């Protein structure tokens, strides 16, 4: 019977070919079409005979040409918007007929395809096309002591069961409502979010990554940081995937990608993490401990974390002098470090060194020249000091992940023998070069080849958390000239920070009035034992976050991370020292 059925099928196909008047257009459908199979019946001729059609055979049906496109119903969450633009109009306006499809809006139950917002591993699982990840951050005002936010807290607050309101703009609410359903967020214009959070300290804001700025403190989820380049989106509670699921998502998804551009808002290849540290003077009792316990001793606790930064900065106040003697006498104020003390700086991942300290010429001009040669022989970028005044006051340029940074440093303090001259080495003296430095900052800020300008000053040494009146005036002058980050590297105790937002003149930036000590032996008070490390995150050429890291000095040489209560005390102290705006 099988050979008869095969012959019969061939004859039928020949008849159909002879009867067709119009050759049908051949279109490859999105999925395979079932093949027609002719099943044998009880009246078929025996398998030893040949089946011959007679004049009474049933005429073949006329074939209708297949349409040139497939009509797809797509369900789009109501109200979903990206960067303020509703998604539905952009998607429904697409003309996909050239690719063989027509899109029609459809209800969820009737749709072939559905756009969905998903969190975590759900967005990566199953047969769907992922348009990428959009990151959001829980934020509070910069001067908030608390650091952490539990992974369930955003949803609790969304549902109205948390300890305070959840504040966001309408665009963010439209995305979260797709994920979480109806909620009770407090909706404000994005430009009013900070003021709302400052007025209600029980509130927590939710903002997209691109809206971050230094006036906002980003709360962490456990040990996860939004600014960690290795962060996996499936682990971060507020990383949301936009996916297409249903029929043929892999074929249709790329055709919608342009209309959904703007969903992804974080690219680790555009991010730079910079840590900046305070007073470093590996001498006196610090040097004695290094001689006893090893040259990496100061870095043993904090080195691993600082080494993770893309750029690690150190303000080193003293020269490197071969064979530098260790002098632990209390009245010793002539400082230097032996060559192998660089091991401690290498152990924290030091990439750049500011040399605006007032001890750079403690071992004379020859000692200063030797120290500058030490850095240059090892290809260590330095600024703030030089073999003459022109070198000392020149900017140093550094680029990472496309972020182009210009660093300047100056000494605004005594002694005068530390100041560079036309033909003698030393630090760039601020008051002899103030107009030149302000003009240089303005010129660099206007240069399209420079994304950010960072200035540090070795200012008058004080032992209080609030800056002096003149310090506020002159640090703000540098900021007004165009500096994005202004840092005081003179203070032996932590001092106030002053963040600026996107709406401020000059855009996002920050003034750090004083970082306190990094590696120095001042154990004589709690305030001098405490220190700050600034961890700045730069994204696509602008400052998006400044984080305060807190340390406590032990054994005259080795800083450790502050405990929770110690950190709260340090933060309360520096926030209370902030000058009025």
Residue 427 · residue 457 · CB < 8 Å: no
Better-predicted residue by pLDDT, 17 or 108:
108
**Dihedral of alpha carbons 263, 144, 578, 385, sign:** negative
d(CA 287, CA 550): 23
Residue 68: per-residue pLDDT: 55
Q: Given its phi and psi angles, is residue 100 left (phi above 0), alpha (psi -120 to 50 degrees) or beta?
A: left
- The confidence band for 121, taking pLDDT boundaries of 50, 70 and 90, is confident
d(CA 340, CA 198): 49
Q: What is the mean pLDDT of residues 320-332?
A: 95
d(CA 498, CA 466): 11
Length of the chain: 581
Token representation of residue 311: 């750029």
Give per-residue pLDDT as tens, 32-83: 444 333 343 333 333 333 343 444 454 555 444 444 568 999 999 998 999 8
Residue 162: per-residue pLDDT: 83
Token representation of residue 558: 């080795």
Q: Given its phi and psi angles, is residue 55 left (phi above 0), alpha (psi -120 to 50 degrees) or beta?
A: alpha
Evaluate if residue 123 carries a pLDDT over 90: no
d(CA 95, CA 93): 6
Residue 365: per-residue pLDDT: 98
Residue with token string 């952009």: 90
With vertex at residue 258, the alpha carbon angle to CA 253 and CA 261, rounded to the nearest 5 degrees, is 105
Token representation of residue 190: 């994005």
- The confidence band for 120, taking pLDDT boundaries of 50, 70 and 90, is confident
Classify strands 542-554 and 530-539 as parallel, antiparallel or unpaired. antiparallel
Return the percentage of the chain with pLDDT > 70, whole number.
88
Residue 221: per-residue pLDDT: 87
Beta-bridge partners for 398: 405
Residue 161: how many other CB atoms lie within 10 Å: 9
Token representation of residue 451: 């994304």
* 309 burial level (CB within 10 Å; 0-12, 13-18, 19+): buried
31 CB contacts (<8 Å, ≥6 apart)?
A: 247, 248
For 129, the 3-state DSSP assignment is: strand
Give per-residue pLDDT as tens, 229-255: 999 999 999 999 999 999 889 999 999
Q: What is the mean pLDDT of residues 424-429?
A: 98
313 CB contacts (<8 Å, ≥6 apart)?
A: 274, 275, 276, 277, 350, 351, 352, 353, 354
Residue 197 · residue 141 · CB < 8 Å: yes
Evaluate if residue 558 carries a pLDDT over 50: yes
Residue with token string 């999105």: 30
Residue 348 · residue 303 · CB < 8 Å: yes
Dihedrals phi, psi of 197, to nearest 5 degrees: -70, -35
Q: What is the mean pLDDT of residues 200-217?
A: 97
Residue 61: per-residue pLDDT: 52
- The confidence band for 151, taking pLDDT boundaries of 50, 70 and 90, is confident
- The confidence band for 223, taking pLDDT boundaries of 50, 70 and 90, is confident
Give per-residue pLDDT as tens, 498-522: 999 998 999 999 999 999 999 999 9
d(CA 479, CA 251): 51
**Spacing of C-alpha 142 from chain mean position:** 17
Give per-residue pLDDT as tens, 286-320: 999 999 999 999 999 999 999 999 999 999 999 99
Classify strands 70-75 and 101-105 as parallel, antiparallel or unpaired. parallel
HEC states along 62-102?
CCCCCCCCEEEEEECCCCCEECCEEHHHHHHCCCCHHHCEE
Q: Pseudo-torsion of CA 155, 159, 162, 167, nearest 10°?
A: 80
278 CB contacts (<8 Å, ≥6 apart)?
A: 315, 489, 491, 514, 515, 516, 517, 518, 531, 532, 533
95 closest CA partner among 218, 250, 258, 246:
258
DSSP state letter for 126: S
Residue 566 · residue 531 · CB < 8 Å: no
Model pTM?
0.86
- The confidence band for 29, taking pLDDT boundaries of 50, 70 and 90, is very low
Q: What is the mean pLDDT of residues 427-454?
A: 98
Evaluate if residue 205 carries a pLDDT over 80: yes
Give per-residue pLDDT as tens, 526-548: 999 999 999 999 999 999 999 99
Token representation of residue 75: 């369900």
């Amino acid at each position: 019977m099988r050979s008869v059925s095969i012959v019969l099928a061939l004859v039928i196909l020949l008849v159909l070919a002879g009867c067709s008047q119009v050759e049908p257009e051949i279109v490859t459908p999105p999925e395979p079409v079932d093949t027609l199979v002719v099943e044998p019946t009880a009246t078929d001729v025996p398998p030893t005979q040949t089946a011959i059609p007679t004049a009474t055979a049933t005429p073949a049906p006329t074939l209708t040409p297949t349409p040139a496109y497939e009509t797809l119903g797509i369900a789009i969450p109501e109200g979903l918007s990206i960067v303020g633009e509703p998604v539905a109009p952009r998607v429904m306006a697409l003309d996909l007929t050239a690719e063989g499809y027509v899109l029609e809006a459809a209800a969820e139950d009737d749709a072939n395809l559905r756009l969905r917002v998903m969190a975590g591993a759900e967005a990566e699982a199953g047969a769907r096309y992922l348009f990428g990840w959009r990151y959001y951050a829980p934020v509070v005002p910069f001067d908030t002591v608390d650091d952490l936010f539990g992974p369930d807290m955003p949803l609790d607050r969304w549902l109205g069961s948390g300890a305070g309101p959840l504040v966001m703009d309408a665009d963010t609410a439209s995305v979260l409502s797709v994920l979480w359903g109806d909620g009770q967020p407090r909706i404000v214009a994005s430009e009013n979010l900070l003021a709302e959070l400052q007025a209600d300290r029980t509130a927590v804001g939710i903002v997209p990554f691109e809206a971050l700025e230094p006036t906002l403190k980003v709360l962490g989820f456990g040990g996860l940081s939004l600014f960690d380049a290795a962060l996996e989106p499936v682990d971060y509670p507020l990383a949301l995937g936009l996916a297409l699921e249903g029929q043929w998502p892999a074929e249709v998804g790329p055709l919608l990608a342009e209309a959904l551009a703007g969903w992804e808002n974080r690219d680790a290849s555009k991010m730079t993490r910079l840590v900046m540290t305070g007073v470093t003077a590996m001498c006196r009792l610090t040097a004695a401990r290094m001689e006893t316990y090893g040259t990496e001793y100061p870095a043993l606790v904090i080195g691993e974390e600082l080494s993770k930064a893309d750029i690690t900065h150190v303000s080193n106040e003293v020269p490197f002098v071969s064979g530098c003697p260790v002098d632990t006498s209390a009245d010793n104020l002539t400082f230097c470090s032996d060559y192998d003390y660089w091991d401690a700086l290498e152990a924290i991942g030091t990439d750049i060194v500011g040399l605006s300290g007032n001890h750079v010429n403690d071992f004379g001009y020859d000692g200063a020249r030797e120290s500058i040669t030490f850095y240059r022989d090892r290809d260590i970028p330095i600024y703030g000091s030089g073999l003459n005044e022109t070198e000392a006051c020149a900017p140093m340029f550094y680029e990472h992940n496309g972020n182009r940074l210009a660093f300047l440093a100056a000494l605004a303090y005594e002694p005068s023998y530390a100041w560079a001259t036309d033909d003698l080495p030393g630090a760039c003296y601020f008051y002899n070069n103030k107009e030149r430095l302000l003009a240089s900052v303005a010129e660099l800020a206007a240069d399209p080849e420079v994304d950010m300008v960072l200035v540090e000053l070795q200012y008058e040494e004080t032992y209080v958390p609030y800056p002096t009146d003149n310090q506020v005036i002159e640090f703000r002058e540098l900021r007004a000239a165009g500096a994005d980050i202004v840092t005081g590297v003179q203070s032996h105790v932590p001092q106030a920070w002053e963040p600026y937002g996107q709406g401020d003149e000059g855009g996002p930036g920050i003034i750090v009035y004083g970082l306190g000590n990094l590696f120095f032996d001042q154990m004589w008070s709690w305030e001098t034992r405490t220190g700050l490390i600034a961890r700045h995150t730069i994204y696509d050429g602008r400052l998006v976050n400044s984080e305060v890291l807190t340390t406590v000095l032990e054994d005259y040489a080795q800083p450790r991370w502050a405990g929770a209560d110690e950190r709260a005390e340090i933060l309360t102290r520096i926030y209370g020292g902030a000058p009025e705006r």
